[in-house]
Structure formats: structure tokens, C-alpha cells
Amino acid sequence: MPLTLYLHPLASYCHKVLIALYENRTAFEGRIVDFADEASSAELFALWPVGKIPLLSDTDRDRTVPETSIIIEYLDRHHPGPTPLIPADPEEALEARLWDRFYDLYVSTPMQKIVTEKIRPDDSRDPHGVAEARAMLEMAYGMIEQRMADRRWAAGEAFTMADCAAAPALFYLQAIQPYSDSHPNVAAYFDRLAERPSFMRTLAEAQPYFHLFPYREAIPARFLEAQ
């Protein structure tokens, strides 16, 4: 199989790319990377010394593609399917790219800061950084709440790469910094994402690993029922 995705089923950025692959029924081999096992991660580091996942390998084109947004653009260009994730219209494409970056930088990044803090040793805690992350999330929630008042998906009426970015971040944030009671449009948007078959499949594959998530006890019960 020409496409191999190096990933971990619990990682939100890996979820982003998995959603894109499943949206278009793209055939690929998933290779789980265990960073605690040198043998497991050696192949990843040989391909991409930065050592970040997800990483896409395309043997037919002799390409190694890092970074989630670049991977999705690469798939859209070289392995297209029935759901174009980058709109053909240039202005709509800019909108999709903008909100893809918004969800990565202002939602996923502060979310991961809070998760990392949860598992840090007491002597290396960063309460100021966590406070900044939570403040950024509140700002982001307000922007999403206003934006999603009159649209179905992040960049408009079509599902795009921006929604691939939004889904995993908003999933984990339900447990970390809940928004359902305070931001009904954000909650309604996430409910639409949660009904997407590509995201449902991604979460089903993550379920066996939820016990590794530091906020597992706060994951909504509806996402634990199939375990």
C-alpha cells in the first residue's frame, strides 16, 4: 500500500488527518508510533528527524509529508476523493485555510498546553502558562460562537479541512474546558461534527486508548459507551 500514516490513535492532530482520510475513503496503512519504545519510533525519526506525528509516507511518489495541514492539502491534490477538503474557489479556499489555522493555533495549541500541564511533575508546573491558555480558549469560544450562528461548517456550507481541525480539539475540550452551557452555537457545531461518520470512526478507534488521557473521567459518557 503506497500510503502509510505514522500516528497514535489518541493524538488530536492525528485525528485531524484520519478524518480527512476517512472522508474520502482513502486507502492507507496506519502505523502506531510508541515514543516510549525506541524500536517503534526509529522508523519515524529516520523519515522525519523532527519526530512529530502524524507523518504521511507516499512510496509511489517517493514523498514524506509532515504537518497536518500540508498532509491534507497533499491528499487533496494527489489522492482526491468525493469530499474536496480545499474548496476550488480561491476565496473559499483562503477561508478554509484561515479557519484551519485558527483551530490549530488558538484551540488545539492551548488545549494541549493544559493537557501537558496535567501530567507534568509538580516542580515543573506552569500555572501562568495554563491561565494564558484558558484565556485564549475563552476568546476562541467567543469567536466560534459568533461565527457559527449562521453557518453549518467552519468555512461555510461545505465540510473542509477546517472542520477536520475543529473536531478533535472540540472533542477533548469538552472534558478540559467545557463550553456546552455557555456557548450553544459551539456545542451545536460540535454535535454536527460528532455525527460525521469519518469522525465517529476516528473516535471509535481512539476509545481503547482513552484511559491514557489525563481527563478521561470527564469525557462525556456518550463517547465511552462502546468501550
Cell of 143: 469567536
145 located within any domain: yes
Domain residues for 117? 90-196
What is the model's pTM? 0.95
7-28 pLDDT, tens digit per residue, is: 999 999 999 999 999 999 999 9
Residue 85 contacts residue 20 (beta carbons within 8 Å):
yes
108 located within any domain: yes
Cell of 170: 472540540
> Looking at beta carbons, which pairs linking 218-227 to residues 24 or more positions away fall under 8 Å?
218/174, 218/175, 218/176, 219/174, 219/175, 220/174, 220/175, 223/171
Region 161-165 average pLDDT = 98
56-75 pLDDT, tens digit per residue, is: 999 999 999 999 999 999 99
Q: To the nearest whole number, what is the mean pLDDT of the chain?
A: 95
Tell me the pLDDT band of 121, cut-offs 50, 70 and 90. Answer: confident
pLDDT computed for residue 54 by the predictor: 98
161 located within any domain: yes
Region 98-102 average pLDDT = 98
59 located within any domain: no
132 located within any domain: yes
122 located within any domain: yes
Tell me the pLDDT band of 182, cut-offs 50, 70 and 90. Answer: very high
CA-wise closest residue to 79 among 20, 29, 13: 20
Tell me the pLDDT band of 226, cut-offs 50, 70 and 90. Answer: low
pLDDT computed for residue 227 by the predictor: 43
146 located within any domain: yes
| Ordered alpha helix ranges (H), the chain | 12-23, 38-47, 68-78, 90-103, 109-119, 127-147, 161-176, 184-194, 197-206
Give the percent of the chain with pLDDT over 70.
99
CA-wise closest residue to 81 among 90, 89, 72: 72
Does pLDDT of 223 surpass 60? yes
Whole-Å CA distances, 61 to 38, 79, 115, 155, 201: 28, 11, 36, 30, 28
SS3 sequence, 130-196?
HHHHHHHHHHHHHHHHHHCCCCCECCECCCCHHHHHHHHHHHHHHHHCCCCCCCHHHHHHHHHHHCC
What's the CATH number where 162 sits? 1.20.1050.10
118 located within any domain: yes
Number of domain units in the chain: 1
